[in-house]
Amino acid sequence: MPSQVNRGPCQIWAALMWSLKGLAAGWRIEASFRLEVILCVILLPIGLWLGHGAVEKALLAGSLLPVPAAEMLNSGIEALVDKSWPEYNTIAGRIKDMGSAATFLLMLNMLLVWIVILGARTGAW
């Protein structure tokens, strides 16, 4: 039987520090991540202000955070692929394109949520 891992305050603190280290690296290295975080900082309060009721506020604000999260995952995948295949490789290119597509799809999702909610309010829907 595998031994249980102790998940006390020290381990939670260490996990938080690793996460903050990753966010700092993403901010320092990835221009796309910086842009997406800036957009989140601008749009999150606007979404909370424009949302009528808890559900709309949650959808408008909640549709923002998956975008920079996916960008972080995509950046990690790209770094791993670049390290694993320094020369051009068709499969490596496909992996990187698919990671980019995941971020793009979440951006479309965010845009769709904002258009549907705010468009319904203006009578456009």
DSSP label at residue 68: H
Instruction: State the Cα–Cα distance between residues 60 and 43, nearest whole angstrom.
Output: 9
Place of tokens 């280290």: 21
Catalytic residue among 30, 36, 56, 71: 71
36 annotated active-site: no
| Catalytic residue annotation | 71
